Amino acid sequence: MNRRDPIPGQEGPSEASKRRAAVPAARSGAPADRLPALLAALCERLPEDRFVALERFLQTATGPNDARISRFVAGEPAAGLARQLMDIVQAWRAGAPLLTGPGLALALTTARSLPRPEPAQVVVSGPLGASLPARLTSSVAMEVIRSATTSLLIASFAAHGARDVVQEIGRAVGRGVHVDLLLEESTQAADAFAALPDGVHIWHRVGAAGVLHAKLIAADRHTALLGSANLTDRALSDNIELGVVLRDPQLVEPLIEHFHWLLAPENNIMRRV
């Protein structure tokens, strides 16, 4: 009795399973998806001179299988750079084998030309050792306030003294910046800002379900200082405090929107004093 080949669509369970097994499953991080991310990561690392050298080399490369590529990669002295370049070459071969060297050079130049957010930076108060690349809270707070052109959103559980910060907020008001101060009522934090112009908006939390404990200085929608430090002389300079300054609008904007939601009258969370 002769065996007949199964009709497609009418295979038995075992035949259908074999057909499915022969088809590679889709995976995230496929070579075609990896190449743009690898190029972006390379742009973050390469100094200008090495970027120019790589771009010039790619302009002469015929494609990912050009024999000269291995020699160029092997000649890179920086630690880990050769491995990073080989990852790009492998993704190039697997995901875009028909892309020429000038085409990859154009993609690399495009990636480098795109605006890249500055990385988050550690901010501290108190003793500062040489092992931690950080900046002092007092100087960063002043810098963030000075960078505001349209709005300042400041939150603090406690406030006392901090005359330099108060004066800088006053200067911001003088140049037309809208200022919202979210302060904890039980600590009488608003007293520290009594000398500010009437245009400053001071907010307290409604009810007694909890306190306003956030510490934030946000300029416009581009920069935000977050941390443990209140707006007091000791917290800004002497206490052991820790924070971070964000200069990525994609991170800062949702943060600002959250506080705007807190201030919305219909939500009855904060009240203007």
DSSP secondary structure letter of residue 186: G
Give the pLDDT confidence score for residue 45 in this predicted structure.
78
Structural domain of 183: 118-272
**Which strands form 223-227's sheet, in the order they lie side by side?**
135-136, 118-125, 241-247, 223-227, 216-219, 151-156, 178-183, 201-205, 270-272
The bridge status of strand 241-247 relative to strand 223-227 is antiparallel
* Segment 53-69 mean pLDDT: 93
Comparing 12-21, 91-100, 143-152, 156-165, which segment has the lowest mean pLDDT?
12-21
CA-wise closest residue to 184 among 202, 214, 206, 157: 157
Q: Looking at the predicted structure, is the pLDDT value of residue 4 above 50?
A: no
Q: Could you tell me if 106 and 192 lie in one domain? A: no
User: H helices of the chain, where?
Assistant: 13-21, 31-45, 48-58, 68-74, 81-95, 101-113, 137-147, 163-174, 233, 249-263
Query: What is the tally of structural domains in the chain?
Result: 2
Name the percent of the chain lying above pLDDT 70.
87
Same domain, 88 and 217: no
Q: Which of 97, 113, 129 is the last residue of a domain?
A: 113
Residue 185, pLDDT above cutoff 70: yes
Structural domain includes residue 159: yes
> Is pLDDT at 21 greater than 60 in this prediction?
no
pLDDT over 80 (residue 54): yes
Last residue of a domain, one of 79, 97, 113: 113
Output the six-digit token pair for 133.
């690349």
Same domain? 156 vs 243: yes
- Residue bearing the bigger pLDDT, 30 or 264: 264
The predicted structure's pLDDT at residue 32: 53
Q: How far apart are CA 13 and CA 34, in angstroms?
A: 36
pTM for the model: 0.62
Angle value at C-alpha 84, between 79 and 90, nearest 5 degrees: 145
Q: Is residue 10 part of a domain?
A: no
Per-residue pLDDT, averaged over 116-127, amounts to 86
Average pLDDT over residues 74-95: 87
> Is pLDDT of 71 > 80?
yes
> Does residue 23 belong to any structural domain of this protein?
no
As a whole number, mean pLDDT of residues 70-94 equals 87
Of the two residues 5 and 99, the one the predictor is more confident about is: 99
Give the integer Cα–Cα distance in Å for 180 and 204.
Answer: 11
220, part of any domain? yes
Q: Determine the pLDDT at residue 162.
A: 96
Residue 3 lies in a domain: no
CB within 8 Å of 20: residues ≥ 6 apart: none
The DSSP symbol for 30 reads -
- Percent of the chain past pLDDT 90, that is, above it, reads 63
So what's the pLDDT on residue 118? 77
Question: Is the per-residue pLDDT at 30 higher than 60?
Answer: no
The pair of three-digit structure tokens given for residue 114, joined into one six-digit string: 């795109």
What is the per-residue pLDDT for 17? 41
**CATH number reported for the structural domain that contains residue 158 in this entry:** 3.30.870.10
Of the listed ranges 116-125, 222-231, 248-257, the least confidently predicted one is 116-125
Q: What is the mean pLDDT of the chain?
A: 86
Judged against a pLDDT cut of 80, whether residue 189 lies above it is answered with yes
